[in-house]
Structure 1
Amino acid sequence: MVLAKNIRFLRAHAQMTQTELAEKLGLQRTMISAYEDGRSEPKLSTLNVMCQLFQVGLDELLYHDIEALGRKALQKKEIKILTIAVDKDDEEKITMVGQKASAGYLNGFADPEYMESLPQFQLPNLSRHATYRAFELSGDSMLPLVPGTIVIGSYVEQLKDIKSGKTYVLVTLSEGVVYKRVFNYLEENGKLFLVSDNEHYKPYEIKGEDVLEVWEAKAFISTDFPNPKDKTKPATLEEISSMILELKDEIRKLKA
């Protein structure tokens, strides 16, 4: 019953209702009630999301009475166990997350059975020292990459390794699966700025604690060939940096 007690305590400590927690986990409110009453236990994928959300280790959540004994001494985040697919020669394959699968991926990325249900493929000329995943774009916020383009990303284990100005696929609690140009302000305010290459979309910020996975864009696959007459160009890094400074100024003015 320690797990049930911990879920109830951590939710209350975070000043969340059962409905709010259910929304973050992509579940019905009745499931949260069942977890807290000990009538049901979350799947591993849901437990992993809870650990990210409440900033606790899996062992602490499952076996340590947090309310009675207090938090364990803060340690570095547990190394995530990344679910991967391999071929008969034990070579890693690239798992494909399509537009329709992106919503389910948020809850199933740590579930081996779910991951096995997704398409897998391999590509030549990619470093064997990294793990890759493919994500299908659903919007036009990152022109000239059009909807349907498949972005191949390599896994980034630590948020601190995000390089400002590079493009990443982020798996997040608040925004789902998104592909953006990212600027890292974690040391300054614990947040990331997400910027679209299509200037019609405004930049926005996201808390580092909301990020579940990070994949640095390394390649893309598209059936849409570039048109030399198309004058639509992504914003330059200088223009993006200027946009971020303006946005931060606006946020400071609003807070004042």
Structure 2
Amino acid sequence: MGSQVIFWSVNIKFLRLRQRLSQEALAEKLGISRVKLNAHESGRTANPTIDDLINFSEFFRMSIDSILKMDLSKLSDQKIRDLEEGSEVFMKGDQIRVLAITVDKDEKENIEYVPVHAKAGYRSGYSDPEFLATLPRFNLPTVPKNGTFRMFPTIGDSMLPVPEGSDIITRYVQDWTSLKAETPCIVILRGDQDFVFKQVTINKDGTMILQSFNKQYFAYTVPVSEVIELWEYYSFHSKELPEPQTDMQQLMRMLAEMQNEIKEIKKKSSSK
């Protein structure tokens, strides 16, 4: 990597101290030994591996490019927060998100299916081609050639009128800033949170509003740093036909629409 790693060691130490973590604590969180971490911080690791680059950048919510090329200690605290909490660099995903794929014998991208039992492993293996190779995969002639597609199962009734238990076919979103408000997406969250199928709106403050299709569920907000991947809705597969809305559901939908209209009117009047 040559001169590209000039700030790697000092930045790793700087980011660790900024979070008030000891080497032992950070090594444990990263799943590496303290000796290996110390080698990174002391500059003895001249050429970090791809796994190390991804591991550190995802933990610190900082693009690989920034950790390699920028002296972060020279930046203002606000600028560092911008990089961590939803900066243009992070949301565009040019450096921090590395997407692994599988292809068929004709070098055409497969559509991987992530079954329920593989969800936990997906969070740690989504960028690992060997993990993806263990997933069921298939091709559909109707799916556009441009883009990477993946299928995810859904659980629960928060996505109604899409029937519960449907499989959602989605397209990978590299540049999150390109999403329009309330875009339907499968959202892969960090930690032990489940995958969710929501209408996604990205705020300028580096947060995402996740709104259920079923209006009986309240919307909630998460930092973009808690999101690993976004997959935009393309189509769904189900063995069940969508049920027609009941009179009560129609009434609740009308009330929700009226509430949204009132909010918009209040916003417009307050901005005058």
Question: Which of 225, 229, 234 is matched with 1:209 structurally?
Answer: 225
AA at the equivalent of 2:172: Y
CA shift for structure 1 position 20: 8.6
The reply on whether 1:14 has 2:55 as its aligned counterpart is no
- For 1:27-46, list aligned pairs within 5 A: 29=29, 31=31, 34=34, 35-38=36-39, 44=50
| Range that drifts further, 43-52 or 194-203 | 43-52
The more displaced of 212-221 and 77-86 is 77-86
Say which SS state the counterpart of residue 95 (structure 1) adopts: strand
Letter in 1 for 2:130: E
Could you tell me how far 1:138 is from its partner in structure 2?
A: 2.3
SS at match of 2:214: coil
Task: Name the amino acid aligned to 1:31.
Answer: G
**Which residue is equivalent to 2:57?**
51
Counterpart code for 1:36 = L
Matches within 5 A, 1:140-151: 140-151=157-168
Partner of 2:117, secondary structure, is: coil
Contact 2:11 2:71 in 1 (8 A): yes
Question: Is residue 195 of structure 1 aligned with residue 195 of structure 2?
Answer: no
Aligned-partner residue type, residue 13 of structure 1 = R
Q: Where does residue 3 of structure 2 map in the other structure?
A: none
Q: Which has the larger share of helix?
A: 2
Q: Shift of residue 121 of structure 1?
A: 0.9
Distance in 2 separating the partners of 1:43 and 1:176: 30
Decide whether the 8 Å contact of 1:172 with 1:211 is kept in 2.
yes
Letter in 2 for 1:177: F
Match of 1:183 in 2: 201
Give the drift of 1:116.
0.8
Paired position in structure 2 for 1:96: 113
Q: CA deviation at 1:221?
A: 0.7
User: Which deviations, in whole Å up to 9, do the C-alpha atoms of 1:157-212 show, x marking residues without a partner?
Assistant: 11111111221012222545221111221x2x221100112233221101123322
Q: What is the CA-CA distance between 1:134 and the residue it aligns to?
A: 0.7
The change in CA–CA distance for 1:217 and 1:4 in structure 2 (over 3 A counts) is same
Instruction: Indicate conservation of the 8 Å contact 1:172/1:212, yes or no.
Output: yes
Which 5+ residue runs of structure 2 have no aligned equivalent?
Answer: 1-6, 267-272
| 1:127 and 2:132 matched | no
Q: Residue 155 of structure 1 contacts residue 214 of structure 1 at CA under 8 Å; is this kept in 2? A: yes
- Structure ID, larger Rg: 2
Structure holding more strand per residue? 1
User: How far apart in 2 are the matches of 1:101 and 1:4?
Assistant: 35
In structure 2, which of residues 212, 233, 238 is the aligned counterpart of residue 222 of structure 1?
238
Distance 1:149 1:90, change over 3 A: same
Task: Provide the rounded CA distance (Å) in 1 between the counterparts of 2:261 and 2:130.
Answer: 41
- Structure 1: tracts of 5 or more residues without a match: 23-27, 250-256
SS in 2 for 1:10: helix
Determine helix, strand or coil for the equivalent of 1:85.
Answer: coil
Residues 30 and 59, structure 2, Cα contact 8 Å, conserved in 1: no
Is the CA contact (8 Å cut-off) linking 1:169 and 1:177 kept in structure 2?
yes
Instruction: Give how far 1:154 is off.
Output: 0.7
How far apart are 1:47 and its partner, in Å? 4.5
Is the contact between residue 102 and residue 109 of structure 2 (CA under 8 Å) also seen in structure 1?
Answer: yes
- When residues 21 and 201 of structure 1 are mapped into structure 2, their CA distance, relative to the original with a 3 A threshold, is farther
**CA distance in structure 1 between the aligned counterparts of 2:22 and 2:214, rounded to whole angstroms:** 37
Aligned pair in 2 of structure 1 residues 111, 125: CA closer, same or farther (>3 Å)? same
Q: CA–CA distance in 1 between the matches of 2:261 and 2:22?
A: 33
Number of equivalenced pairs: 238
What is the identity, as a one-letter code, of the residue corresponding to 1:100?
H
Task: Quickly say closer, same or farther: Cα 1:140–1:160, change in 2 above 3 A.
Answer: same
TM-superposed deviation, 1:46: 7.0
Question: How large is the Cα RMSD of the aligned pairs?
Answer: 4.2
Code of the aligned partner of 1:94? I
Looking at structure 2, the residues matched to 139 and 244 of structure 1 have their Cα atoms a distance apart, in angstroms, of 28
- Which residue number corresponds to residue 269 of structure 2? none
**Secondary structure class of the residue paired with 1:200:** coil
Kept after mapping to 2: 8 A contact 1:95/1:132:
yes
CA shift, 1:5, in A, is: 6.9
Q: Describe the superposition over 1:137-167 as per-residue Cα deviations: whole angstroms up to 9, x where unpaired.
A: 1222112234421111111111111111221
